[in-house]
Amino acid sequence: MLVLTETSVGFVVFKLSSDAKIDNKDLWKEFETPEGANKALKVQAIQRFTSTASAVEDLAAVQEGRLTDSLSKFIQEAVAGGEDGEKKKKKKKVEEMLVVSEAKLAGTINKTLSIPVLSDSSTQDLYRGIRQQLASLLGGVDQKDLNTMSLGLGHSLSRFKLKFSTDKVDTMVIQAIALLDDLDKEINIYAMRVKEWYGWHFPEMAKIIVDNIAYARVIKAMGFRTNAVHTDFSTLLPEELEATLKQAAELSMGTEIADSDLAHINQLSDQVISISEYRTQLSEYLRNRMQAIAPNLTALVGELVGARLISHAGSLMNLAKHPASTVQILGAEKALFRALKTKHDTPKYGLIYHASLIGQAPQKLKGKMARMVATKAALSIRVDALSDSDSRSEAAAAEVGIANRVKLESRLRALEHQAGIVSTRRVTAGSARQQPRFELNGAAGGSYNAASDNPTNPADLLPTQPSPAPAAAAASPEKKDKKEKKDKKRKSLAAEEVGDVTMDGDEVAGETKEERRARKEAKKAAKAAKKEGKEDGEGEKKSKKRRASEAAPAEGGDADGEKKKKKKKKDE
């Protein structure tokens, strides 16, 4: 009787001695010692694994009940001839029974190779004893090495069965995006502290160099501002900024600082530079991880927005379970609950607002674009979470996300055309954000006059009465503008009055004396009629008031009389 065993070394066929019988209930006692195990079993044939990949493939096939070509050939050679099989090489019907641990594999061997097979519960004690004394049965194999190989092969086999990849661990993405946010805050705090600290010594430098990293590097290269003239900034700054910086260093109004102050500023600058360099490495690491974990989501919304969505949901699988409406407002929960509580409009977007597709859309179309991006993002997330993209290349793995992005871009152009909105995506290659040019105001080209600090004439220190001409020249432009406006108003009013007079004069010149008299009399009559109308109106008002005042006491008297009559009746 032969016994087929799968080990971490390879497939082994043992020959069971005639003394050891499977039906014997005390068979396990023979495997208590290595000597007893070697007496009961002998190695007849062994097929070693050439690599971990081949071992995983063969063992996975055995667990599924499939018979590989290499295993089939090995069993035929081992069962047909044994040790003398190569010498005999005779084709005859095999009557040797083969014991197999896997029931599915036993059925396949029986059907394919026509070999009698035994696979039932009676073989459990036999295989338990083989696993216990495997190192002594194989011979020349250390038990520690055998355990190490078994552990590694077990992990590889489990990973293969679960389709698990270390690149698919989304925990790395969650930690990376959280650390990236922390680094941004630290860099901002440290850089602002450097600018405030070094600004006492060279305040103009903060306006010339806006970039925080370049600012720290310039401090490291220059030190004191007096060294700016002899320092080469060609590797750090453009030529224009370098010339402006050196010119501003000569005319700077900053105070002097000690060597100890500069030493601490340099240490803080080192921190800013080192953290910035690590942030660049972390950003590249995050991009690679997102390409491996969620290639379609990354192609659609970018690695930063995708990583924030995964981090907010907890995992890629949890994010895949969310509907598109939830993905759209993910990150705006406070605003959502506040709107529901106050019965106001709910938010249209959350973390997905920072996606490039929504950012390049006009303000009127951002809500509609956020809804469409969330819909396609939900599909891309489910493809990334549930599809098997290990066998595909990087370009093919993101084909769903790329196709969805193309559709959304074309849809955005169509919506802009319908609404008559000019596209905001027309960005030229040289229109990236650049350092604004800094120019020194005033006497930029002149040098500093050190003689003005120590006047030789004492009379120069006395205050003098300013002349009227300089005082007039020093008037603020706002006052000048006000005076000019007042003058214009006066001139316009005078011109209108002159125009009215000339018009009246023309009319008078064209009339006869009788017509002129008649016109004047008509004017006087009209004025008199107006006055009379006003007087009549005032008289009527006064008469009404008098009538009302007279009627009031009369009514009061009648009311008093009625009250008196009622009292008399009650008394009676």
The pLDDT, as a whole number, for residue 171 is: 86
Averaged pLDDT of the chain: 79
pLDDT of 474 strictly over 80: no
Mean pLDDT along residues 350-379: 92
List the structure tokens of 520: 């004047």
CA pair distance 20, 13, nearest whole angstrom: 16
pLDDT of 443 strictly over 60: no
pTM of the model: 0.53
DSSP state of 146: H
pLDDT of 301 strictly over 70: yes
CA pair distance 540, 549, nearest whole angstrom: 14
Question: Around Cβ 206, how many Cβ atoms within 10 Å?
Answer: 14
The pLDDT, as a whole number, for residue 560 is: 52
The pLDDT, as a whole number, for residue 457 is: 55
Collapsing DSSP to helix, strand or coil, 43 comes out as strand
pLDDT digits (tens, 9 = 90+) for 69-99: 888 888 888 886 554 444 444 444 456 788 8
pLDDT of 18 strictly over 60: yes
pLDDT of 51 strictly over 80: yes
pLDDT of 8 strictly over 80: yes
Domains present along the chain, CATH in parentheses: 2-161 (3.30.420.220), 171-283 (1.10.287.4070), 294-419 (1.10.246.90)
Q: How confident is the model at residue 561 (pLDDT cuts 50, 70, 90)?
A: low
Mean pLDDT along residues 531-540: 62
Q: How confident is the model at residue 438 (pLDDT cuts 50, 70, 90)?
A: low
Least confident of 112-126, 264-278, 318-332, 518-532: 518-532
The pLDDT, as a whole number, for residue 500 is: 46
Element (H, E) at 32: none
The pLDDT, as a whole number, for residue 494 is: 59
Burial class, 28, CB count within 10 angstroms (exposed 0-12 / middle 13-18 / buried 19+): middle
Question: Around Cβ 10, how many Cβ atoms within 10 Å?
Answer: 17
Q: How confident is the model at residue 428 (pLDDT cuts 50, 70, 90)?
A: very low
The pLDDT, as a whole number, for residue 245 is: 92
pLDDT digits (tens, 9 = 90+) for 148-204: 888 888 888 887 776 655 556 788 899 999 999 999 999 999 999 999 999 999 999
Question: Of 160-174, 427-441, 483-497, which has the strongest mean pLDDT?
Answer: 160-174
Residue 438 phi, psi (nearest 5): -105, 130
Locus of tokens 């009061």 = 556
List the structure tokens of 269: 């600058």
Q: How confident is the model at residue 61 (pLDDT cuts 50, 70, 90)?
A: confident
Least confident of 250-259, 387-396, 496-505, 543-552: 496-505
pLDDT digits (tens, 9 = 90+) for 302-320: 999 999 999 999 989 899 9
Q: How confident is the model at residue 50 (pLDDT cuts 50, 70, 90)?
A: confident
pLDDT of 543 strictly over 70: no
How many angstroms separate the most distant Cα atoms in the chain?
162
Mean pLDDT along residues 245-265: 92
The pLDDT, as a whole number, for residue 220 is: 93
Locus of tokens 């009404």 = 544
DSSP state of 100: -
pLDDT digits (tens, 9 = 90+) for 262-293: 999 999 999 999 999 999 999 999 999 999 88
Least confident of 73-82, 133-142, 357-366, 453-462: 453-462
Mean pLDDT along residues 359-386: 92
CA pair distance 265, 379, nearest whole angstrom: 51
